[in-house]
Copies of this chain bind each other. A is one copy, B any other.
Amino acid sequence: MTTPRKPRGPYRKGLERRQQILRAALEVFSEHGERGSSLKEIADRVGMSQAGVLHYFDSREELLLAVLAERDALDVEATADVTSPGEAVARTAAHNARQRGLVDLFVTLSAAASDPEHPANAFFVRRYEALTESIEDGLRKAQERDTVRTDIRPDHMARMLLALSDGLQLQWLLNPGIDMSETIQAFNLMCLGPSGERDDATPETGSGDGA
């Protein structure tokens, strides 16, 4: 933890290699899921041998966890300019619909990691905790502004949003014809305003950013 000014030559090259491997691993895991991926293929993609990769990461498991952390960092970037929780989720859905590999990785891995023995279990448990809490906060504030109905508990709505997002990803993988973000927008409609405000024909809410 001494924040070195500038790593010397050989050391720096090592770091670059690590990054390179990380990116390749992200790709490979994205395409085949965790269990379907091998060090060999990652190695091939970065142009070295399987043993070479293990020089940088020691074990496959270590690499997997590094990949997850990396993916999470990218995620945070992408959702930096969010507005309301519901919109954020819809936006992310639209974005994901262009990244089938990543969706697959996430769905597969989060399912596999539900086993407490899985190396990524702690990662996902924490992830959902954090996401739920953050969405819940956003919803609570919206309720105070009367932007969101107040007769449903915000923690329930938060879990619904996350579940909706995950579940739709699965449905979309099985049938790419379905429109994830359109469905989420419909849900957002159901979350609207104070109960009395809406009458039978509610027009489209503004912000319909494509899909």
Contacts and interface: CB of A to CB of B under 8 A. Distances in A.
A181 to B, nearest CB: 12
Contacts of A125: 174-175
A96 to B, nearest CB: 13
B190 A194 contact: no
Interface in A119-178: 121, 124-125, 128-129, 149-153, 156-157, 159-160, 162-168, 170-171, 173-175, 178
Nearest to A113: B174
Interface string A85-98: 00000000000000
Contacts of A194: 200
Interface of A: 33, 35, 104, 107-108, 110-115, 121, 124-125, 128-129, 149-153, 156-157, 159-160, 162-168, 170-171, 173-175, 178, 182-183, 186-187, 189-191, 194-196, 198-202
